[in-house]
Amino acid sequence: MPTHTDPSVLYPDVAACGSLAAALRAEADGCLGAVPVTSPDSAPLLRATAGSTLPHRGPLEIDARSHERRWSIFGTERFQGMPLVEGSTDNLAELAKAARAWHDGTQLADVRQAAPFVHLTGRFEVPDHDPARLAESEWQSMRLEASELDYTWKDSYQALIEAAHAEAALRALYPFTSHWALRFSTTTRPRLTVVGPCLIANSDGTYVVGRDFTGDLGRFATAREAVATAVRALPSGLGPVTLGA
pLDDT at residue 29, rounded to an integer: 87
pLDDT at residue 236, rounded to an integer: 94
pLDDT-derived band at 1 (thresholds 50, 70, 90) equals: very low
Q: What is the pLDDT of residues 155-180, one digit of tens each?
A: 999 999 999 999 999 999 999 999 89
Cβ atoms of residues 170 and 142 within 8 Å: no
Name which of 236, 129, 229, 138 is nearest 184 in CA terms.
Answer: 138
Between CA 101 and CA 236, with CA 143 as vertex, the angle to 5 degrees is 120
Q: What is the pLDDT of residues 183-216, one digit of tens each?
A: 999 999 999 999 999 999 999 999 999 998 888 9
- pTM tops 0.75: yes
Cβ atoms of residues 87 and 73 within 8 Å: yes
Q: What is the pLDDT of residues 10-67, one digit of tens each?
A: 999 999 999 999 999 999 988 999 999 999 999 999 999 999 999 999 999 999 999 9
Compute the distance between CA of residue 113 and CA of residue 118 in angstroms, rounded to an integer: 8
Query: What angle do the packed helices 131-148 and 154-166 form, to 10 degrees?
Result: 150
